[in-house]
Structure 1
Amino acid sequence: MLGWLRSLRSGPQIPDAAWQATLDRYPFLSDLPPSDAVRLRELSTLFLRDKRFHGAKGFEITDEVVLAIAAQAVLPVLHLKGGLDWYDDFVGIVVHADEMVARRRVIDPTQVVHEYDEVIAGEAMENGPVTLSWKAVLDSSNTTGTGYNVVIHEFAHKIDMRDGAVDGCPPLPAGFAGAPTANAARAAWLAVLKPAYDDFREKTIMADRFGAEPPWLDDYGAVNIGEFFAVACEAYFVNRERFGAEFAALLVLFDEFFRPRRR
């Protein structure tokens, strides 16, 4: 097991049976068009060649683990210019068997320091590793209906972080969506994303406080606009049809970024 992975630099490819098992487990991968499926496997091979997996607290890294994470991680960059360059700020991927407890420290507007523990399924560090719960990765094979996917969530954060801020807006070039400058492209992006976030947050508050119908998508997206972007990316990639029905304007925006038209 994993012998093929250690030899990737010298040419071997992902074993057919192991790759097919990965596609079969995650329906949003097996439903890709043939050309996308070919590119997914190519980028997954390169991803596995360049990244290093570490099992936390004795967790065993197996073929199933690395292939599941690689295939889902490369899905967001499948059509982005630069491809895996979007992930070149880190090498390590740390996998825990289950959820983790992260110690947080925040300073509120009155400069009072608050420390607390947060249970998390994953975390992406700027210029650092990605940490994932294997249980949560496996859960993503059964949560297409809710739009949940921890791998895509954390790697969407990596894409968002490319300009140094987790603010829901990845770096955009001049010309994006017809904008003449990069600043205009950012403004155009936020003109669509922020109203969607504000509406989602309002619905989440109404559901939590007054028992209103909860919105589709994980309510963690209401924490801030950066988390909303990551949660929205999860749904965009794993349940495009429902995402488009719920967030029509975001579907157009995300298509422009993640599936740019060839000019």
Structure 2
Amino acid sequence: MLDFLHKWREKRILSRSPYTDADWQQALSRLAFFERLSQEDLHRLKRMATLFLHHKSLESAGGLNITTELKLVIALQACLPILNLGLDWYDGWVSVIIYPAGFTPIHTEMDEYGVVHEVRKPLSGESWERGPVVLSAEESLDGGIIDGHNLVIHEFAHKLDMQNGVANGMPPLHRGMSAPQWSKAFSAAYADLQHRIAHGKSIVIDHYAATAPAEFFAVLSEVFFEQPRLVHQTYPAVYQQLAQFYRQNPLNV
């Protein structure tokens, strides 16, 4: 009975969707790496993005006017990682706060002497545990550029990571996945990236990935969806773990 009601509500939301084919086409025209998706996957993605926009609150900050195009571009990118997982992976929070460009939040940090300082750090995105996702509209709209950088996927990867607590680079794994295998693949790749950076070796993956295991997972998720061959060639064991977790295989290998 509950499953029937859930499907009925979803069907009702989708039937009342205000978004036209032209709206979707305009949004998808900004997302070049989506071209690898089949028509069936695109159809499922648009349905999920519609439900995402119904259940989440996209809120303006800094005087931003949130256009239909911006809504759809963000929703499509946010839903790509969970295309084969389900929208319930984003349960537990509601708001997506969008600034026109970057923003500078104030955080408190304790130094080695136990003194607490207020620190301002310019950011283009941020994810809070059990709280909102904060995004730059400018970078969200540029997310379709195939350069291995994708703000929306990065921040929503953090949300997936936080489903079992503080982001630490290991989201809740599916039944049949091995936590030791995940840890072995990611730990080795993370150490290798740090070694390469420390010794000035060439590396095409964003150095920000080497700042923390949680950032490594989020950055590698960006690259997995935008430039999957790069992940497969550089860290094949990580690629296999991401393919199992996201239940997607962009290279079909």
Query: Is residue 20 of structure 2 the alignment partner of residue 15 of structure 1?
Result: yes
Aligned to 1:255: 243
Aligned to 2:218: 230
Aligned to 2:62: 57
CA contact (8 A) 2:17 2:50 kept: no
**Aligned partner of residue 101 in structure 1, secondary structure:** coil
Which of 131, 134, 139 matches 2:137? Answer: 134
In 2: Cα distance, 1:22 partner to 1:245 partner: 30
Q: How many residues align?
A: 238
How does the TM-score come out when normalised to structure 1? 0.85
Query: Is residue 39 of structure 2 the alignment partner of residue 34 of structure 1?
Result: yes
Query: Is residue 192 of structure 2 the alignment partner of residue 189 of structure 1?
Result: no
Give the partner amino acid of 1:100.
F
**Aligned partner of residue 61 in structure 1, secondary structure:** coil
Aligned to 1:179: none
Give the partner amino acid of 1:155.
F
Q: CA deviation at 1:187?
A: 2.2
Moved segments of 4+, more than 4 Å = 7-10
Give the partner amino acid of 1:228.
F
Aligned to 1:91: 94
Aligned to 1:111: 114
Structure 2: where are the runs of 5+ without partners? 1-11
**Aligned partner of residue 70 in structure 1, secondary structure:** helix
Q: Which has the higher helix share?
A: 1
CA contact (8 A) 1:148 1:217 kept: no
CA contact (8 A) 1:105 1:116 kept: yes
Aligned to 2:75: 70
Distance 1:113 1:193, change over 3 A: same
Structure 1: where are the runs of 5+ without partners? 1-6, 177-184
In 2: Cα distance, 1:252 partner to 1:159 partner: 18
CA contact (8 A) 1:77 1:84 kept: yes
Aligned to 1:169: 170
Q: CA deviation at 1:251?
A: 0.9
CA contact (8 A) 2:70 2:137 kept: yes
Q: CA deviation at 1:114?
A: 4.0
**Deviations 1:91-140 (CA, angstroms, capped at 9, x unpaired):** 11111001011222222455343432111110111111111001111232
In 1: Cα distance, 2:224 partner to 2:34 partner: 13
Aligned to 2:154: 153
Greater shift in the superposed pair: 115-124 or 99-108: 99-108
Give % identity: 37
**Deviations 1:117-172 (CA, angstroms, capped at 9, x unpaired):** 11111011111111100111123222x13x10000000000000000121100012
Q: CA deviation at 1:21?
A: 1.3
Greater shift in the superposed pair: 39-48 or 152-161: 39-48
Q: How does 1:183-222 map to 2 (within 5 A)?
A: 185-207=178-200, 212-213=201-202, 215-222=203-210
Q: CA deviation at 1:14?
A: 2.6
Q: CA deviation at 1:206?
A: 2.7
Greater shift in the superposed pair: 60-69 or 196-205: 196-205
The two structures, once aligned, show a CA RMSD in angstroms of 1.9
Give the partner amino acid of 2:76.
A
Distance 1:175 1:141, change over 3 A: closer
In 2: Cα distance, 1:85 partner to 1:197 partner: 29
CA contact (8 A) 1:13 1:45 kept: no
**Deviations 1:62-111 (CA, angstroms, capped at 9, x unpaired):** 1011000000000000112xx01011111111110010112222224553
CA contact (8 A) 1:24 1:30 kept: no
**Aligned partner of residue 46 in structure 1, secondary structure:** helix
